[in-house]
Amino acid sequence: MNHLPESETVLREQLAAAYRLAAMMGWEDTIYTHFSVRLPGAGEPRFLINPFGLMFDEICASDLIVVDVNGRVLDGKSDYNLAGFTIHSAVHMARDDAHCVMHTHTLAGMAVVACERGLLNLNQISTEFHGRLGYHEYEGVAFNLEERARIQTSLGNNIALMLKHHGLLSVGQS
């Protein structure tokens, strides 16, 4: 069952609100983190993502750009974060159920992804990810589109991905 609204306008508003909430929570890393939402429709996946250069608290629904998995900007400004495109397109290409993809570089998240053993099942919060968390080795800034296949393998059917020495990624229906 798809829980996402069908309207691109509603999806734009919800994604912009997610960016604003993330800014309020202190989850932004200047201009280098990104969220995306898959747009409904048949054929090749298309998704909304933030344009490069805006802080999370500046993003409005009208700022979001539509891009396909080949990197073509279908609507909006053409300046997007290439690393963000690589990561998000990898997920949208592989996971029909991953309508929303969030990638952050939070301080707490960066501390965990820098640890050799990753996330430890030490409390009830961390155990929510037991058996539902993938790990992806650091390959440098994700400019190489060939990394998409490795990101897809690392994520598998999990709900979250620890990008070692890089950041956190989570996926969901909304």
pLDDT digits (tens, 9 = 90+) for 67-78: 999 999 999 887
Query: Residue 119's domain spans which residues?
Result: 8-172
pLDDT-based confidence at residue 5 (cuts at 50, 70, 90): low
d(CA 147, CA 139): 8
Please report, for the domain that includes residue 27, its CATH number: 3.40.225.10
State how far the alpha carbon of 149 is from the alpha carbons of 45, 87, 109, in Å.
Answer: 16, 10, 23
3 has pLDDT over 60: no
pTM > 0.85: yes or no:
yes
Instruction: Please report whether residue 168 resides in a domain.
Output: yes
Yes or no: say if 168 and 162 are a contact pair by the CB < 8 Å rule.
yes
Instruction: Please report whether residue 2 resides in a domain.
Output: no
Our count of domains for the chain comes to: 1
Per residue in 53-94, pLDDT tens? 899 999 999 999 999 999 999 998 878 888 899 999 999 999
State how far the alpha carbon of 45 is from the alpha carbons of 11, 18, 85, 112, in Å.
Answer: 15, 21, 13, 31
Instruction: Please report whether residue 3 resides in a domain.
Output: no
Instruction: Please report whether residue 66 resides in a domain.
Output: yes
Average pLDDT, the chain: 92
